Structure 1
Amino acid sequence: PDTIWIFREPILEEWRDRGDIDLADLVTHVVVHELAHHFGWSDADIAHIDRWWE
């Protein structure tokens, strides 16, 4: 589909649970991650260039 859905509650929950990241940075990461999926990238492909979770 040509639509990417970003859900507020899971993002806010992750932000609260982590407690070490700015909300704007987390939202940016999620949007870029979902755009990469939209263009066919796998989680492994994304993790190779985005070391977000380290």
Structure 2
Amino acid sequence: MNTYRAQSVPAKWPFPPGKGRKTPKLSLGSMVADVCLVAVWGAMIPGMMWLGVAVGF
């Protein structure tokens, strides 16, 4: 078993470091879309449960 010290492990371990590559930036529109998708998904779960109770499941 290998034991790693925090100083010897790269920041993105276990992924190899990118040489000269920058991480893509998220646009404001994509962040808003992500928040809306999470909100809709979160509202669907209780909504489906409510419909199930109303139908008789």
Question: Which TM-score band applies after superposition, normalised by the shorter structure?
Answer: 0.3 to 0.5
Which structure shows the higher helix fraction? 1
TM-score, normalised to structure 1, is: 0.37
Which protein has greater RCO, CA pairs closer than 8 Å, 6+ apart?
1
TM-score, normalised to structure 2, is: 0.36
